[in-house]
Amino acid sequence: MKILVTGGAGFIGTNFILLMLHDYPDVQITNVDKLTYAGNLENLLPIESQPEFSSRYQFVKGDIADSTLIDNLLSEGCDAIVNFAAESHVDRSLEEAGIFIRTNVWGTQVLLEGARKYSLNRFIQISTDEVYGSLGPEEKFTEDFPLKPNSPYSASKASADLLCRAYFQTFHLPVIITRCSNNYGPYQFPEKVIPLFITNALENIPLPLYGDGLNIRDWIYVEDHCRAIDQVLRKGKVGEIYNIGGGGEKTNLAITQTILEKLNKPKTLITFVKDRPGHDRRYAIAAEKIAHEMGWKPMYSFEEGIDKTITWYLNNRSWWEKIKRGEYKSYYQRMYGNRS
């Protein structure tokens, strides 16, 4: 199987590529990534050191909104696109919404046109539970839940999902959409809450917690998400949507306290900051559909996953230190102030 993976130098894309090359000797992957702030080729260094992987992998620096590039790549032969490429941080979308529209909407349309032109077998759109908006205390997102995005980021992802639906309905393009809950694990850019708080705690820097810290998210370890995508790619029904959840609902405050306890750091490092606009109160995923149709379920509990994640950041300090000392430092200071 020849797969075009977009955004494969980012967090989830990296983990997906490493999983696929490891588990399937017949898989060949072309990874196209623009290498914006969150794209990091160091993530994929393990491929270069293993000839059995590197012979089945190529990297192309490029933009998914570049129709000429995408046409050239697909003309070389491809069975499926797995579209991870996206501007994905809510805070950044509040500052620069335009780049989210360009990549997440226009870029997706370029990929859809390419998949249509070359009659690909599968187009997997990696979306998010944030397209559904916020939940009450008891509900869970099902696949037919109405779309009510509350940030420019989630609105751009909802728009892309609707484009995918339209290409399936109008052109019978074999599109499948996945919507996952909050991911965490190795290689996550340290602006997201879990790697930010782990790395801040290791440096004894305050942990900036929005509002009262009681916003709830359903957390999933990234390897579990990637295995679910693999199942959808191979067994999913075209035209369908599959929710992917970890069954690990936690408040942001509970996450913060867990990280501090595991690192033996004081709770005085918690610093409550002004809540961001449009901050959804609760997300929770109903993942019965993918479980029933494909037998998928998470392998890792939150407790197991957070231990693996903390261990990875402890063992890869040079990876995240370079990020936080470079471009990310100025962004961190702009968002939260210089609290070091």
Active site residues: 129-130, 153
Residue 126 structure tokens: 């990696």
Rounded-to-5 percentages of helix, strand, coil across the chain: 50, 20, 35
**Torsion angle (degrees, nearest 10) of CA 322, 310, 186, 237:** -150
Phi, psi of 217 (to 5 degrees): -130, 155
Q: How far is CA 207 from CA 59, 71, 249, in A?
A: 35, 44, 20
- The DSSP element (H or E) to which 271 belongs, if any, is strand 270-273
Helical H segments across 25-120, by residue range:
45-48, 51-54, 67-75, 90-95, 97-101, 108-117
Q: Give dist(CA 77, CA 104) in Å, integer.
A: 24
Residue 105 structure tokens: 């909407």
DSSP structural state of residue 43: G
Phi, psi of 11 (to 5 degrees): -60, -65
The closest of 159, 252, 226 to 16, measured between CA atoms, is 226
Beginning with the edge strand found earlier in the chain, give each strand of the sheet holding 182-184 in spatial order: 182-184, 216-221, 249-251
